[in-house]
Amino acid sequence: MLAELIPERLRKIPELMAVIQAEEPEAQAAYDATVDFLAQLNVDTATWGLDLWEFEYGIQTDASKSLDARRTALKAKMRGAATTTREEVKRQVELILQCHCTVVEWPDQYSVQILIYADTGTLDKLEECGKVVRSILPAHLAFEMQLLYPEETSQYCGFAVHMGWHLTID
């Protein structure tokens, strides 16, 4: 690394090359430390710096969670400054779970119902999703998350076969 930075004519001096080779490990370590530090400035690449990001956004650090789960919660908190609308809740849930959902508002009951179509995406982040929804919804609104599992059902309609959804309440 360092030898390539000096002119070719100086590379022929054995004493200079010995000094450069002796300094090479320290220079490489400093370079690696700089690259690692710069990686902590981006949520998508941060590792040990996630603790600082979580502190800055007021998230309790949970080292038992995977880095991906922590990053997802952090990004949700960062995006959470938007006005809470049905579309925003839907967008947040779909970003976290990577599956389709429908958000139904019940204004007279001060509640929101989130229907999650479980045939797509992963549901291993369901608990985390509930926490994010709770953090973005106004405090006076209750919410309910329901999982919908696909079930093939046949109904005789003269000639048609209908694919339906089987509702399972969590």
- Could you list the pLDDT tens digit for every one of the 170 residues in the chain? 788 888 999 999 999 999 999 999 999 999 999 999 999 999 999 999 999 999 998 889 988 989 988 998 888 788 766 678 899 899 888 888 888 999 999 999 999 999 988 766 667 788 888 888 888 888 899 999 988 877 654 444 444 443 444 444 44
Three-state SS annotation for the chain: CCHHHCCHHHHHCHHHHHHHHHHHHHHHHHHHHHHHHHHCCCCCCCCCCHHHHHHHCCCCCCCCCCHHHHHHHHHHHHHCCCCCCHHHHHHHHHHHHCCCEEEEEEHHHCEEEEEEECCCCCCCCHHHHHHHHHHHCCCCCEEEEEEEEEEECCCCCCCCCCEEEEEECC
